[in-house]
Amino acid sequence: MANGYRIVIGLEVHVELRTNTKIFCSCANRFGAEPNTQVCPICMGMPGTLPVLNKKALEYAIKAGLALNCNIASFSKFDRKNYFYPDLPKGYQVSQFDLPIAHGGWINITGEDGQPKRIGITRLHLEEDAGKLLHEGTDAFSSLVDYNRAGVPLIEIVSEPDLRSPEEARQYLTELRNILRYTGVSDVKMEEGSLRCDCNISLNPVTTDQYGTLVEVKNLNSFRAVQRALEYEVERQAALLDSGCQVKRETRSWDDSAGVTRSMRSKEKAHDYRYFPEPDLVPVAVDQAWVETIRQDLPELPEAKRKRFMQDLGLPPYDAEVLTASQELAAFFEECLAVYDDAKTVSNWVMGELLGYLNQEGLDITASPVAPKQLGELLQLIADGTISGKIAKQVFVQVCQTGKDPQTIVAEQGLRQISDSSQLEGIIAEVLAAHPQVAEDFRSGKEKALGFLVGQVMKATRGQANPQLVNELLRKKLQ
């Protein structure tokens, strides 16, 4: 789509930290409360009030930094970013300018060539969120402001300009979200605004190494929007460059319903934020021992888990990818594996039957009606020949619906597979008597005819006959 151009993308991701209280006051950090009920004089920026850093927010920022392979600064500080807007009660945002809490990290994605590709993370810093403007039920001259979000702790994660396609950007975001979700520092829900993403994108002719003019894209409310907006920008900028025009350095806003980006403000008139050190807070000295404690506390992260699933359990990359998409799903898989240790079979059932069912019912893995142990036991029943795979699928649905254990369902409904040849021989005789012509066809070499006969036996046993055994017995009889 952009032949002859190199695409250069960098992302700025804001993530709300899931602390109990806000970053500089003791108000609850809670999404979805009635407007202006989670506020106090401090987060409303009233005269004389002062911030006190929530240590948990610092801990979470460090945790996120470590999970993203960053260096944690032993000395860091806060700065004021000055600008006027009604959602910003103090007229400045407390942020970090030149000494962020973490820097120099990376995460891996799968590159275009299928090989792992390392995407650099320039920095990660801690700051406070602003409130939210509401325009419902107001006239053209007024707006309403909700300050519940003002002072919610945020981390801003800035990537290096290492991404080379909208698809890579989507992958980076997905991996970033997974990692942060694993660490538990955030809900990372784009629809609730706990993860927000701005993109920087430029195109330059492949004949040069020099970056093209940077365009910032904002107002991206889903991963899909990020990818679509970037794809749109690639087309737009390539068309401009093709026709000999210049790309303007500006900020553009994504209009999701129209599927286009629109100019917001040109960068020439950009804000001068007049950053300076926040005099109301003391610099942050981070003890190395504390950092190590937090590092010890990190869970196994998605990439390590994927590697283990492939190398130790022999799963294909696709399975490993799907199963590690969330920590809860991976845990489900592993708990199941503890009961029934054939990884590939468990993987097939989790990805197929389980995710299929959850998807159909609109449920999250955490709300699965089937316990991992139950699925493991079900697979055990197949393995020891108690039930057939086909019956197992029915049992699975019943476990989902009733919550009963697979063994109970099999026993109650007499679903146990008939593997006793003496029990089957009578039925086989009846089937052959009823279909003499088919039996004759088989004898005369029509291999297919056997399938029909097996089907008739299965039908007569309501699917409970062991199909392999039926097959053997029929062949013997027809010889």
Partner 1 sequence: MGLYDMPINNLNKLIASGAVQATEVVEDVFDRIEQVEGKVRAYLTLNKEAALQQARRIDEQVAHGEEIDPLAGVPVALKDNICTKGLRTTCASRFLESFQPPYDATVVERLRARGAVILGKTNMDEFAMGSSCENSAFFPTHNPWDLQRVPGGSSGGSAAAVAAGEAVYALGSDTGGSVRQPAALCGVVGMKPTYGFVSRFGVVAFASSLDQIGPVTRNVQDCALVMNAICGRDPLDSTSADIAPPDFTSFLTGNVKGLRLGVPKEYFAAGTDPAVADAVRAAVDKLCELGAVAEECSLPHTEYGLSAYYIIATAEASSNLARYDGVCYGRRDEVRADLLEMYLHTRKNGFGPEVKRRIMLGTYALGSGYYEAYYLKAQKVRTLIRRDFEQAFQKYDVLVAPTSPTTAFKIGERTEDLLAMYMTDVCTLPVNLAGLPGISIPCGFKDGLPIGLQLIGRQFDDGRLLQAAYAFEQNTDFHQRRPQLDGTGR
Contacts to partner 1 by CB under 8 A: 41, 44-53, 80, 82, 84, 86, 89-92, 141, 145, 147, 272, 274-276, 279-282
Residue 43 interacts with which of Zn ion, partner 1, none, CB < 5 to 8 Å by class = Zn ion
Residue 131 or 376 with smaller CB distance to partner 1: 131
Residue 51 or 212 with smaller CB distance to Zn ion: 51
Min separation Cβ 51 and partner 1, Å: 7
The Cα 448–Cα 478 span in angstroms is: 14
Task: Give the Å distances, CA to CA, from 196 to 13, 112, 182, 216, 220.
Answer: 6, 25, 18, 14, 7
**What's the DSSP call for residue 246?**
P
Residue 25 or 450 with smaller CB distance to Zn ion: 25
Establish if 27 lies at the interface with Zn ion (CB under 5 A): yes
Min separation Cβ 126 and partner 1, Å: 15
Burial 365-394 (b: 16+ CB within 10 A, else e): beebebbbebbbbbbbbbeeebbbeebbbe
For every residue of 11-75, DSSP letters joined together read EEEEEE---SB-SSSS-B--TTPPTTSS--TTTTT-TT------HHHHHHHHHHHHHTTPEEPSE
The Cα 36–Cα 132 span in angstroms is: 10
The Cα 245–Cα 223 span in angstroms is: 30
Going by C-alpha positions, the residue among 102, 111, 105 that lies closest to residue 74 is: 102
Min separation Cβ 28 and Zn ion, Å: 9
Residue 25 or 410 with smaller CB distance to Zn ion: 25
Q: Give the range of 18-26, 58-66, 394-402, 433-441 binding Zn ion by CB under 5 A.
A: 18-26
For 350, counting Cβ atoms within 10 Å of its Cβ (0-12 exposed, 13-18 middle, 19+ buried), the class is: buried
Is the separation of the CB atoms in 261 and 217 below 8 Å?
yes
Min separation Cβ 32 and partner 1, Å: 22
Residue 53 or 325 with smaller CB distance to partner 1: 53
The Cα 370–Cα 355 span in angstroms is: 11
For every residue of 96-136, DSSP letters joined together read -SSS-SEEEEEEEEE-TTSSEEEEEEEEEEEEE---EEE-T
Min separation Cβ 53 and partner 1, Å: 7
Residue 145 interacts with which of Zn ion, partner 1, none, CB < 5 to 8 Å by class = partner 1
The Cα 209–Cα 446 span in angstroms is: 69
Q: What are phi and psi of 23, to 5 degrees?
A: -75, -35
Interface positions, 182-221, toward Zn ion (CB under 5 A): none
Going by C-alpha positions, the residue among 178, 160, 250, 189 that lies closest to residue 15 is: 189
Establish if 40 lies at the interface with Zn ion (CB under 5 A): yes
Residue 119 or 150 with smaller CB distance to Zn ion: 150
Residue 123 interacts with which of partner 1, Zn ion, none, CB < 5 to 8 Å by class = none
Min separation Cβ 278 and partner 1, Å: 8
Min separation Cβ 32 and Zn ion, Å: 17
Is the separation of the CB atoms in 359 and 389 below 8 Å?
no
Residue 217 interacts with which of partner 1, Zn ion, none, CB < 5 to 8 Å by class = none
Min separation Cβ 193 and partner 1, Å: 21
Give me the amino acid identity at 141. F
Residue 42 or 457 with smaller CB distance to Zn ion: 42
Min separation Cβ 130 and partner 1, Å: 12
Establish if 179 lies at the interface with Zn ion (CB under 5 A): no
Residue 52 interacts with which of Zn ion, partner 1, none, CB < 5 to 8 Å by class = partner 1
**Interface residue with Zn ion, options 9, 43, 315, 358 (CB under 5 A):** 43
Residue 407 interacts with which of partner 1, Zn ion, none, CB < 5 to 8 Å by class = none
Establish if 25 lies at the interface with Zn ion (CB under 5 A): yes
Residue 45 or 369 with smaller CB distance to partner 1: 45
Residue 48 or 362 with smaller CB distance to partner 1: 48
Residue 82 or 326 with smaller CB distance to partner 1: 82
Min separation Cβ 84 and Zn ion, Å: 21
Min separation Cβ 128 and Zn ion, Å: 10
**What's the DSSP call for residue 163?**
B
Residue 27 interacts with which of Zn ion, partner 1, none, CB < 5 to 8 Å by class = Zn ion
For 466, counting Cβ atoms within 10 Å of its Cβ (0-12 exposed, 13-18 middle, 19+ buried), the class is: buried
Residue 130 or 234 with smaller CB distance to partner 1: 130
Is the separation of the CB atoms in 304 and 97 below 8 Å?
no
Residues of this chain that interact with Zn ion (CB under 5 A) are 25, 27, 40, 42-43
